[in-house]
Amino acid sequence: MERLLSVDDAAKVLGTTPRFPRRLIAERRIRFVRVGRHVRIPEGELQDFINEGTVERMQLYPEG
């Protein structure tokens, strides 16, 4: 079973305030799980979100 992160834990991973992951959840931009009244974010989903937003560096000079 995949580890589930609280909103506060997700914010720490992202380096943001808890408001940002809450907004991602409210806008349905990230998958989440309801556990009773609590909301949890699967760790893998958070990693996917980070990977999708990663911009690779540009290569200024061609190799060779």
Q: So what's the pLDDT on residue 62?
A: 78
What pTM was estimated for this model as a whole? 0.82
pLDDT tens digits, 21-63: 999 999 999 999 999 999 999 999 999 999 999 998 888 887 7
Contact partners, residue 31, CB within 8 Å, separation at least 6: 41, 42, 45
12: its two tokens: 């720490």
Q: Quote the tokens at residue 59.
A: 């290569």
Give me the pLDDT at residue 60, please: 82
Closest among 24, 54, 17, 19 to 41, alpha carbons compared: 24
- DSSP per-residue codes, 18-51: THHHHHHHHTT-S--EEETTEEEEEHHHHHHHHH
pLDDT for res 56: 87
